Amino acid sequence: MTTQAENELITRVEGDAPLGRLMAENYWIPFAMSEHLMHGERPMPVRLLGENYVAFRGEDGQIGFLDELCPHRRASLLLARTEGNCLRCIYHGWAIDVSGTVVDVPNQTTRKEAFASSVPVVHFPVCETGGLAWVWLGGAEAPPFPDLPFADEELHRFWCVSRIPCNWLQGLEGTLDSVHAGMLHRTWIEGAAKLAEHSNLSFALDQPPTYETQLTPYGLRAAALRATAEAKTYVRVTEHFMPFVTVLPVGRALPRTGSVFVISPVDDTHHLLFFGTFGDSPHSAVTLDQLSMQDPDFVPDPQDYAGLRGDRLNAWGQDQGLMDAGHFTGIGRSLLEEDAIVQTSMGPILDRSKETLSSSDVAVAQNRRMLLDALSASEGGALPPGSALATEPVRVPNALEMLVEEGQRWEDVALDPVTS
C-alpha cells in the first residue's frame, strides 16, 4: 500500500519537492509540440514544475526558452514582440535572443553593450526530437538527448496535446494501467476494430491479461499476457522510460509502429498529456479522425485536445443519452477525453493511501516503488533509471506485441523489433 507520506513524495513536483528536483536534474522535460512553436506567433506560455516560462521560435528556427518575467523590471515576456531571433519586451524595449543574451537595452544611456552583455538572463537549452520540444532545466551543460523509438525523422507521426487538471502521476499511471483500455475505451475500440484491416491497428483487449514487469536501465518494461486458443501466449510489451514516456504497441508485425504517451509535469495539480502514434507508413499512425471517430462534429482545440467541459457537478459533461444509446461511458468526443475525465475525477492529487489495488495494477505499483527507490538512492548521489547524466547513452527500445510458444518466456524473446 502507498502511504500518505509516500504519496506526497511521488506526486509533489513544485518548489523544493524532491521529485521535482529529481526530474529537473536528470531528464529532458517535454513542454510543447514542435508544430505549435512557429516563428512570428505569440510567445508560448510554459509552466513546468510550478515555474512559469516563455518559449518562442526565432527566425533562424531555434527555440528560445526563458523565465517568463523580463530581466529588467519583470514584465511578462508573454506580452513581448517577436523580432527576428529575439523577444522584445514591450515595457522598455529590452531585446533577448534565443540563446538568452540581452542584445538591446534602449533605456540604458551609458556603456550599452557592456551593460547588455552583463545582464543575467534565466534561460534553458531546448532539444526538438520526435515532434516534441524538450527543455533541460538541470543547469550546467545540457547532456545528450536519449534515443527514443519514435524519434527517427523518417517516421510518420501524429501528435496531440491535452491540458489535464490533475497531478502528473494520475496521467502517467493511466499509461501503465493498460487493462483499462478494454473497459473505459470499449466503445472506441469496437469502432476502431472495424477500421483495423485498413489501418493495421490490432486489438486483443477483450480478456483481462496477467501482468509481469521488469526493471530496465531506463525504467520499466510491463508485459500483458493472454492465453490464446493455440496454447500460445499473446504478449503486449509496454516500455516505460522514466518518468515521463510510455510507448505501447499498436500493430503486430509492424516493428517501427507504436503509440506513445508523454506526460509533462506542469505543477502539483496539472499536467500536459502528449499522445502520439508513429509508424513507417502514413497509414500506420492513428489519425485525428480515428481518435475522435465517436463524434464526427468534434473540432478539438489544438492546445487542448481532450478539453474538459465541466466538473463533478455535471459529471464532466458525461452524456446520459449517449449511454442510453449504447455508448459505454457517455464520453463521446474521443478516447483521450475518457482518460482525462476519469483521471481528473480522482481529484487534483489522488490520495493513494485509500486505494485498493488489484492484480492488474502490477505495473502501477512497480512504478511507484521505482520512483520511491530513485528518490532515496538520489539522496546518496545515485542517478535514477534513464538519467540523461548517465555515462552510457540512454536507449529505449520500441514496444511490441508477440506470440510466445508454450514453454518459452517472453523475457527471452528478442525485445527490440528494430534488430529482431
Q: Would you tell me which residues interact with Fe ion (CB under 5 A)?
A: 339
The least CB distance from residue 82 to ligand FES, in Å, is 15
The set of residues, in sequence order, having a beta carbon less than 8 Å from that of 152 and lying 6+ positions away, is: 256
d(CA 405, CA 228): 10
Q: Is 414 exposed, middle or buried (0-12, 13-18, 19+ CB in 10 A)?
A: exposed
User: Closer CB to ligand FES, residue 70 or residue 237?
Assistant: 70
What minimum distance in Å lies between the beta carbon of 386 and Fe ion? 23
Are the C-beta atoms of residues 342 and 331 closer than 8 Å to each other?
A: no
- CB-nearer residue toward ligand FES: 67 or 268: 67
Exactly one of 62, 75, 165, 317 binds ligand FES (CB under 6 A); that residue is 75
- Closest to Fe ion by CB, 97 vs 339, is 339
Closer by beta carbon to ligand FES, 76 or else 202? 76
Between 22 and 89, CB nearer to ligand FES: 89
Compute the least distance from the CB of residue 41 to ligand FES, in Å.
20
Residue among 240, 374, 269, 358 nearest 1 (CA): 358
> Nearest Cα to 23, choosing from 293, 173, 235, 245?
245
Identify whether the C-beta of residue 99 lies closer than 8 Å to the C-beta of residue 123.
yes
392: which DSSP letter?
S
173 binds, among Fe ion, ligand FES, none (CB under 5 to 8 A by kind): none
Distances (CA, A) of 316 to 207, 332, 342: 29, 12, 9
Single out the residue of 1, 59, 73, 359 in contact with ligand FES (rule: CB under 6 A).
Answer: 73
Contact between 94 and ligand FES by CB under 6 A: the answer reads yes
Q: Which stretch binds ligand FES (CB under 6 A): 72-80, 199-207, 349-357, 378-386?
A: 72-80
Q: Least distance to ligand FES from the beta carbon of 266, Å?
A: 25
Cell readout for 404 is: 510466445
Q: Which stretch binds ligand FES (CB under 6 A): 4-12, 68-76, 111-119, 293-301?
A: 68-76
Among positions 47, 72, 81, 226, the unique one binding ligand FES when judged by CB under 6 A = 72
Q: What share of the chain is helix, strand, coil (3-state, %, to 5)?
A: 30, 25, 45
Per-residue cell: 254: 509492424
Which lies closer to ligand FES via its Cβ, residue 121 or residue 342? 121
Give min distance, CB of 98 to ligand FES, in A.
17
* Cβ 363 to Fe ion shortest distance, Å: 14
* Interface residue with ligand FES, options 70, 86, 137, 404 (CB under 6 A): 70
Which residues, listed in sequence order, are joined to residue 376 by a DSSP beta bridge?
none
**Which residue lies nearer to ligand FES by CB, 54 or 161?**
54
Rounded least distance, CB 74 to ligand FES, Å: 6
In the bound complex, what is the minimum distance in angstroms from residue 310's beta carbon to Fe ion?
A: 19
Where do the H-state alpha helices sit in 276-319?
A: 288-291
Helices (H), 272-398: 288-291, 320-324, 335-345, 362-379
For residue 339, the partner it binds in ligand FES, Fe ion, none, with Cβ less than 5 to 8 A by kind, is Fe ion
Quick one: which segment of 13-21, 86-94, 317-325, 401-409 binds ligand FES (CB under 6 A)? 86-94
Which three cell numbers, joined as nine digits, stand for 150? Answer: 519514435
Kindly state whether residue 92 participates in binding ligand FES, applying the rule CB under 6 A: yes
Q: What b/e readout covers 238-264, taking b as 16+ CB neighbours within 10 angstroms? A: bbbbbbbbbbbbbbbebbbbbbbbbbb
H/E stretch holding 273 reads strand 270-279
Q: Interface with ligand FES by CB under 6 A: which residues?
A: 70, 72-73, 75, 89, 91-94
